[in-house]
Structure 1
Amino acid sequence: MEYQWLIDRVDSIIVNRSKTVILAFLLVTVLFVGGLGSITTESGQEQFIEDLPSFQAVEDINEDFSASFSEVTTSTTLVQASTNVLSKGALTDMLATRERIINTNSLRVESVSTPAVTVAETLNPNATTPAAHLRAVERATPTQIDAAVREAAADDAGFTSSLSDDFNRQSASATSSRGSVSHLAGPGEGSGGGPGGGSEYPPNKVDRIKSVVTDDASNIWVQGTPPDTTGTTTSVVLPAALLLIIVFLAVAYRDPVDIGIGLLAIIMTLLWTFGFIGYVGIPFAVLLIAVPPILIAIGIDFGIHSINRYREERVTGLGISESMMRTTDQMSVAFAIVVGTSAIGFLSNVVSAFPPTQDFGIVAAVGIIFTFLIFGVFVPALKVTVDRARQRYPIPTFATTPLGSERSLLGRLLSVGVIVSKRGPLVFLLLILVATAAGGVYATGVDTGFSPDDFQPAEETPEYLQYLPESIRPPEEFEYVRINNYLDRNYQQDSQVLMYVEGPMTRDSALEEIYRASQSPPETFREERRQAEARSIITVIEDRAERDPEFRALVNRNDRNDNGIPDDNLPQIYDALSTDDSDLSGFLGEDRRSAQVIYTVDGDAEDDVVTDDAYAVADRFRTTAQPTGSVIIFDEALSLVLESVIQSLILTLVGASGFLVFAYWVIEGRPSLGLVNIVPIFVTVVALVASMRAVGLAFNAINGTILAIAVGIGIDYAVHVVHRFADEYHEQPLYPALQRTVVGTGGALTGSMLTTVFGIGVLVLALNPALGAFGILISLSVLYAFLSSILVLPSTIVVWARLTESEGVRLPVIEAITGTDTAESTTTD
């Protein structure tokens, strides 16, 4: 397939019409700037689980089982801590705080629930107002309060679940309690959680509640909504990445003008990518924070290779135009191969079960195409224009030599892989094969995880972040996380499984079906008298029947088997329930074609066991029943993490291998060179996963893309080496071609590796710990890819040459043991 005419045409435009190219790229940049104002943000774990069937069931439950004309509410958590939160002083603190909260109109309070209210109503059953509750406790003696606490604990399971694990019924004491404030949301406010959603309404509710807290005998903490660290993380990571990159560019280029060209190209790349995000409406979520450092690192890699190769030609005495023509002639092909394989790696994430991961793959793939265009076309055009201006005007030139030479220390270090390939490539590759196989076995033990904690920052922020400007400075401590950690340490409660049942609930057997499904429950389900502990329309009926003789008689008349569950005239039963304040809407859909059952399950049981048991109970329903709840949602998400990792890795390896084989068949007529390209990537992937297990990192929704990224970025290094070798091999014997390849390209690879490792490594500064680990993993994958390309690839190439050449290439084995270097005399025809 003839392609050289296209490359020659592009080379000619870059060199001969450089100013036109520059102007065109600047105009496109202005166009993409227009999309920046349309960027939206999204945070939290909901974005990863919103497409799961169990999460959809939660959405259906929220839609079906809420009062028709009720207002949307938001909530705030109150946590009280003291030596004894059930003492008179602590109870008085909470009840006085509750009264003030209710009387603060701006908080739009619907209700405030707290164990202190239960104690007050136990002391005085006639107390119905906040003021009466407070008086009941203030007038009681400590002995009376202790007796009321013990009575409440015996009669109300909800009371004890609101107290810390150290609650002692005998002494009527506990060190902590928790309650909640329910707020009426304003017009147009949604109920969605997370920053920016309805859960933040009313505005500044946490600060307003804190201003009315009474804490004379205890501490009362107010927990609002999870912190949104996306903006702060971006503000910290990008400047840090740019600062580190400037340092490494200074080392690689040693010329301020070339550094300026590189920085301008980086800024343009980011503007194009962010503009694209805005125009297509992809929300900027936590995973997309990793895209800018990735594109910056790849762009710098392209820039260093391009400038370094151009300088290699210039030092031979060639002019500006001819040097750049030779540079772009070679580098555009290498860049195209890198872009193709990297894009395949990124796009493999579209098969992920998580929408943010799919968005990440699309944005990263589009971004690397933008990077190719800017660094492959715009940068050479600008470099040519600047160097021509230097010839006409007294603009100083600080450095014109390439990075790395055969006589330099870097050149000698880079030659280690070539030396090994001369003395014993087969022995070395066999050792690598054994090590990789062993690492692969070890890597199979890597864990997977999916938890809300993956999306939360650490409780305390690093001290160095407090030196940032106030506008982007994070708080010293995230109070939400601190309170959350406190609750995790001090409270142990049962979890819940919600069962969303779809079907005509007016059918005679509808309630009997719910009743039978709850009999003899699985081990993880709490039970009482061989019946699952649950709340449903049945418990609403039982509660009403217990206190209303007329309704009880109606139930008995329609209960054919005398088990207390009506199985006839159900519409009449429901109509009777609707006449009082029974919580019918919480368990029966308005159209009476769906129902909700809330089961209590063991909070200490493994999530996967609870999920299996929940689906076993769902199978007992004749109608459609979908179990859901946080336990099931996150367990299902966890099972999809590893599935997504494996699918994207397979797609990446197969797609990249096929692309490389095709590319080298077209370019060199040697498709087997594509397979040579893949060898270092297998080593890199195995080493990376083994490292994850060694340091205790698990695959999660954020770093689940890491293997596809490792292939997509890491293959960059192997491509540069193999493509440069193929060019050199046309003109030189095997080992001289290898030596020139590794020293020439290796210098640029070293600079690229350093900028990438440190440029992406700055993600460790991210407030989200999972994102920090993600940055470390990408940096490790790049480091491993660099080392395997420099050390493993030369021996692989020698073996390839022996297998594909009919004669003239020997594989030295004895030299690896004796140290006798006969490989220098090896030639190829």
Structure 2
Amino acid sequence: MNALFRRLAGLRPAGVLAAHTVLLLVMLAGMSRLTLRNNDDADLPANDPIVQTNKKFEAIFGGKDRVLIGLESADAFSPGSLTATREITDAFVGLKWVVGNEIKSLSTIKNIEANADGLDVDTLYDGPPLSAADAADVRRKALANPLIQGRVVSDDGTDSLILINVVRGSDQAQVFEDTYRILEPYRDRFTVRVIGDLILSEAIDRGIQDDAVVLFPIGIFVQLLILWAIFRNVRLVAASVLATVVGIAWTMGLMGWLGYPVTVVTTSIPILIAVTAGSYAIYYLHALLEERLVQNDLVTANQSAMSKVAYPLWIACLTSAVGAYSLIVFKVSAIAELGVVTAIGTVASLIVVITLLPALIRCWWKDSAQSGKPTGLEASSRIMRWAEAGLTRLAAASVARPVTTLIAYVVLLGMTLVSLTFLRTGANFAEYLPDGHPIKTDMAYFDARLGGSRYFDVLVEAGANEGVQDPAFLRRVEAIQRYAETLPSVGHTLSFVDVLTRIDGVMNNKPAGEIPATFDQAAQYLLLYSISSSPEDFSDLVDYDYRRVKIFIPVKTSEQDTHIAIYRQLKDFIAQQPTDGILVEYGGNLLVWLAQMDYIIIGKIQNIISSVITIVLLCAFFFRSLRYALLAAAPIVLAILATFALMAVLGLRLEVSTAVITGITIGIGIDFSYHFLYHYRRARERSGDAHAAIVDAIQASGAAILFTVVVTVLGFTAFIFSAFTPIQNFGYLVSVNMIFSGLATFTLIPALLAVRRPQAGVTPVMAVETGHAGY
């Protein structure tokens, strides 16, 4: 294998560059095929119960989501406010993502009153102009109707509310853009507030994607500075950065050709590939400069360096790819896709580095440096020697007191395991937004004053058509509503029962109506309503067969722990009631996100177990030794556990952004221990002296590992400048993980090696073709 890579490094640069130019054009064409996916349901398996229930809701009631708009003014019933409410409502009519024309506002909601003939059902007001007397009449009717007061107008009469039902699967970007376009002209006269799951998701996605566009160049620039500080050669650094960018283009192009969409999770791929490709470039450049110090010819040094690093880099690359691919166990498709694409990109990056980078260096290095000893390498060599000396002292301290070192790690492991018991799961998605973000402010306002910004849907199904007219069924629905309203953070619920009790109240001239006493009475109320208006007015509350009703349960918090508590208490309460042929199901986007959290927890456990086992088996195969495989895995396993323990201590939760850390860091971190043990094993086979072999391993790979840690940490440090907490947390945690992995490589592994008993005779680990490999 090394002979093959030696020949590749000796190919004519012009031919290599021409081939890469053609391939780059192909990958750019693939990038043009990339699509964006931002639908939450698409991230769950199609057979998930929540997905199935939401499809049932869609089939029966038509809508999946809601957008809520609030117009705050001194008086929601002033002629100007009422006119603006009607104009905004009319502007949404006919948009393809609006369910029919299901828009509830003061201008569309039907007011139910009694008259001499039975019921008078009509809108509160219609076309302009609105006089002061008209506005006063609207106020009187609205404040007397509990279906309006506190639902489409705030209790204090300052906020006019507009509720829009959204078609399932709508493009959230289109919903976001249309909503803000329509509302923009009214912001100079009103305080306009907008909330909704799609609005929140799009705001988070846009913010993260916008930050990624800014942070990616920062990460590349930081990488460039570090590489220049290490290697002190502009051409080497430029070649490395160009190879990194090409590796990213390959990854994104292959992503497009394979049909994987861009999601908010996969927007992190460019920086991941930049760090990965940068680390491969460091190992190669380190070997090249070592060879240039002893070789007079650049071509020969290039080939020698490549033959020394290619095999261990390929093994480390495959192990990293497997670590990333282990994310495939997640049922949340965005995380699984991140794992697949990162695995592909890891391999693609190494192909680019070991083919394009040598060609670029041969083209760009000054002609005067093509033969003879080049100038300017002394500073870089001096940095490497300092790094190796420091790491040697660090490892020597562990070797001198191996038992003490191991006890310290055992204590750390114990503290870590205890801390893991405090690790929380779930997310408060509103907290993803930075403080002061308009949508975060709007959500807090809705939660505090307008009944809540999130919601559950509960479907209650009778045993037969027209069963919702059965008083017993209606009492069951009412009992669920009243119980839900006793739970913390639940606002005013709404169902078809509220409509019937309103009709009962106006028919009997009572301030508060009651559930119809008989089936016939309920049927009579519906008949009276149908004479005055259309039963379609209730299409989002009851189906046409009068068999199923939907309860709308607003929630005044984005805290998922509270959502889970509400969901569980509702289920427990309903489970304690007699069934009587009644079926209850739960839906809504809150449950989609709760389901995602369940999959993330299960997937995280599976991911850790599967990735560690797979990597241990791979290392055992490559080293031909289970002992060495376990040694290689020890630092990264401890680093993962320590990272999650740190999350628990800092109050960070296991959710989408933090769940992917294992698959990413285990792939990068395992490179450190693999390179170290690769060279330790070879040195041990030559000398038989464990201590000397540790020193040789550090001299061969220590500087490259350290520089890789530095580049990785500083590359991910760019994430902390994001305004969005998921990106910040991802950057912090990956950086901490890499530091711990690197530190454990030079302290834990030497300590474990030092306490091993010497063995008589060590079987050579690598095949004959790799017997001379090393750098």
Give TM-score scaled by structure 1 length: 0.76
SS in 1 for 2:484: coil
Structure 2 residue corresponding to 1:596, chosen from 536, 549, 565: 549
Structure 2 residue corresponding to 1:40, chosen from 35, 43, 48: 35
Corresponding position of 1:170: none
Instruction: Write the mapping of 1:339-354 to structure 2, written as runs, cut at 5 A.
Output: 339-354=317-332
Residue 295 of structure 1 deviates from its aligned partner by 1.0
Corresponding position of 1:97: 84
The answer on whether the counterparts of 2:248 and 2:270 sit within 8 Å (CA) in structure 1 is: yes
Structure 1 residues 422 and 399, CA, compared in 2 at 3 Å: closer, same or farther? same
Q: In structure 1, what residue type is equivalent to 2:325?
A: L
The answer on whether the counterparts of 1:615 and 1:627 sit within 8 Å (CA) in structure 2 is: no
SS in 1 for 2:70: strand
Structure 1 residue corresponding to 2:642, chosen from 687, 702, 705: 687
Structure 2 residue corresponding to 1:378, chosen from 356, 359, 368: 356
- Which segment is superposed worse, 426-435 or 624-633? 624-633
| Residue 272 of structure 2 is aligned to residue 305 of structure 1 | no
Structure 1 residues 795 and 597, CA, compared in 2 at 3 Å: closer, same or farther? same
Q: How far apart in 1 are the matches of 2:303 and 2:124?
A: 89
Residue 303 of structure 1 deviates from its aligned partner by 0.6
Cα offsets for 1:373-399 (capped at 9, x unmatched): 111333234435555955569998543
Q: In structure 1, what residue type is equivalent to 2:697?
A: T
Structure 1 residues 198 and 113, CA, compared in 2 at 3 Å: closer, same or farther? closer
Cα offsets for 1:546-587 (capped at 9, x unmatched): 8899xxxxxxxxx9xx9524699x9x9999987751245334
Structure 2 residue corresponding to 1:136, chosen from 133, 138, 144: 133
Residue 684 of structure 1 deviates from its aligned partner by 0.8
Structure 1 residues 516 and 655, CA, compared in 2 at 3 Å: closer, same or farther? farther
Corresponding position of 2:602: 643
Cα offsets for 1:63-97 (capped at 9, x unmatched): 32249xxxx99856123155xx47xxx73542243
Structure 1 residue corresponding to 2:390, chosen from 390, 396, 413: 413
Structure 1 residues 434 and 393, CA, compared in 2 at 3 Å: closer, same or farther? closer
The answer on whether the counterparts of 2:250 and 2:348 sit within 8 Å (CA) in structure 1 is: yes
The answer on whether the counterparts of 2:273 and 2:346 sit within 8 Å (CA) in structure 1 is: yes
Structure 2 residue corresponding to 1:585, chosen from 539, 545, 565: 539
SS in 2 for 1:294: helix
Q: How far apart in 2 are the matches of 1:221 and 1:645?
A: 37
- Which segment is superposed worse, 356-365 or 440-449? 440-449
| Residue 287 of structure 2 is aligned to residue 291 of structure 1 | no
Structure 1 residues 537 and 253, CA, compared in 2 at 3 Å: closer, same or farther? same
Corresponding position of 1:730: 685
Corresponding position of 1:156: 146
Structure 1 residue corresponding to 2:658, chosen from 703, 710, 717: 703
Cα offsets for 1:625-683 (capped at 9, x unmatched): 43123443333333333222212111111111111111111xxxx34211110111122
Corresponding position of 1:64: 60
Structure 1 residues 404 and 753, CA, compared in 2 at 3 Å: closer, same or farther? farther
| Residue 438 of structure 2 is aligned to residue 432 of structure 1 | no
| Residue 7 of structure 2 is aligned to residue 12 of structure 1 | yes
The answer on whether the counterparts of 2:690 and 2:753 sit within 8 Å (CA) in structure 1 is: no
The answer on whether the counterparts of 1:206 and 1:223 sit within 8 Å (CA) in structure 2 is: no
Structure 1 residues 397 and 385, CA, compared in 2 at 3 Å: closer, same or farther? farther
Residue 621 of structure 1 deviates from its aligned partner by 6.8
The answer on whether the counterparts of 2:41 and 2:592 sit within 8 Å (CA) in structure 1 is: no
Q: How far apart in 2 are the matches of 1:162 and 1:438?
A: 53
Q: How far apart in 1 are the matches of 2:304 and 2:597?
A: 51
Residue 372 of structure 1 deviates from its aligned partner by 1.5
- Which segment is superposed worse, 432-441 or 502-511? 502-511
The answer on whether the counterparts of 1:75 and 1:199 sit within 8 Å (CA) in structure 2 is: no
Instruction: Write the mapping of 1:531-680 to structure 2, written as runs, cut at 5 A.
Output: 564-565=518-519, 580-582=533-535, 583=537, 585-589=539-543, 592=545, 595-598=548-551, 600=553, 606-616=562-572, 620=579, 622=581, 625-665=584-624, 670-680=625-635
SS in 2 for 1:789: helix
Identity of aligned residues (%): 15
Structure 1 residues 321 and 426, CA, compared in 2 at 3 Å: closer, same or farther? farther
| Residue 712 of structure 2 is aligned to residue 717 of structure 1 | no
Q: In structure 1, what residue type is equivalent to 2:345?
A: G
SS in 1 for 2:159: strand
SS in 2 for 1:606: helix
The answer on whether the counterparts of 1:450 and 1:635 sit within 8 Å (CA) in structure 2 is: no
Q: In structure 2, what residue type is equivalent to 1:15?
A: G
Structure 1 residues 76 and 543, CA, compared in 2 at 3 Å: closer, same or farther? closer
The answer on whether the counterparts of 2:295 and 2:373 sit within 8 Å (CA) in structure 1 is: no
SS in 2 for 1:687: helix
SS in 2 for 1:627: strand
Q: How far apart in 2 are the matches of 1:21 and 1:593?
A: 71
Residue 493 of structure 1 deviates from its aligned partner by 4.5
SS in 1 for 2:750: helix
Instruction: Write the mapping of 1:388-407 to structure 2, written as runs, cut at 5 A.
Output: 390=368, 398-399=376-377, 403=381
Q: How far apart in 1 are the matches of 2:90 and 2:457?
A: 35
Structure 2 residue corresponding to 1:77, chosen from 69, 81, 86: 69
Q: How far apart in 2 are the matches of 1:383 and 1:234?
A: 30
Q: How far apart in 2 are the matches of 1:7 and 1:369?
A: 17
| Residue 19 of structure 2 is aligned to residue 24 of structure 1 | yes
Q: How far apart in 1 are the matches of 2:194 and 2:541?
A: 30
Instruction: Write the mapping of 1:200-239 to structure 2, written as runs, cut at 5 A.
Output: 200-201=177-178, 204-210=181-187, 214=189, 219-220=191-192, 225-226=199-200, 227=203, 228-239=206-217
| Residue 718 of structure 2 is aligned to residue 762 of structure 1 | yes
The answer on whether the counterparts of 2:212 and 2:268 sit within 8 Å (CA) in structure 1 is: no
Q: How far apart in 1 are the matches of 2:280 and 2:755?
A: 29
Structure 2: gaps (5+ residues): 114-119, 509-514, 763-775
Structure 1 residue corresponding to 2:162, chosen from 172, 175, 180: 180
Q: How far apart in 2 are the matches of 1:440 and 1:564?
A: 61
Q: How far apart in 2 are the matches of 1:603 and 1:74?
A: 15
Cα offsets for 1:423-463 (capped at 9, x unmatched): 11122112211222222211321111233326x53144xxx
Q: How far apart in 2 are the matches of 1:459 and 1:81?
A: 24
| Residue 287 of structure 2 is aligned to residue 314 of structure 1 | no
Q: How far apart in 2 are the matches of 1:664 and 1:513?
A: 72
The answer on whether the counterparts of 1:447 and 1:699 sit within 8 Å (CA) in structure 2 is: yes
Structure 1: gaps (5+ residues): 1-5, 168-172, 461-477, 550-558, 808-829
Cα offsets for 1:90-137 (capped at 9, x unmatched): 735422433554687999896986679999999x99963354754226
Q: How far apart in 2 are the matches of 1:132 and 1:447?
A: 56
The answer on whether the counterparts of 1:106 and 1:202 sit within 8 Å (CA) in structure 2 is: no
Structure 1 residues 720 and 566, CA, compared in 2 at 3 Å: closer, same or farther? farther
Q: How far apart in 1 are the matches of 2:123 and 2:460?
A: 39
Q: In structure 1, what residue type is equivalent to 2:539?
A: S
Instruction: Write the mapping of 1:233-248 to structure 2, written as runs, cut at 5 A.
Output: 233-248=211-226
Q: How far apart in 1 are the matches of 2:319 and 2:580?
A: 49
Q: How far apart in 1 are the matches of 2:570 and 2:290?
A: 67
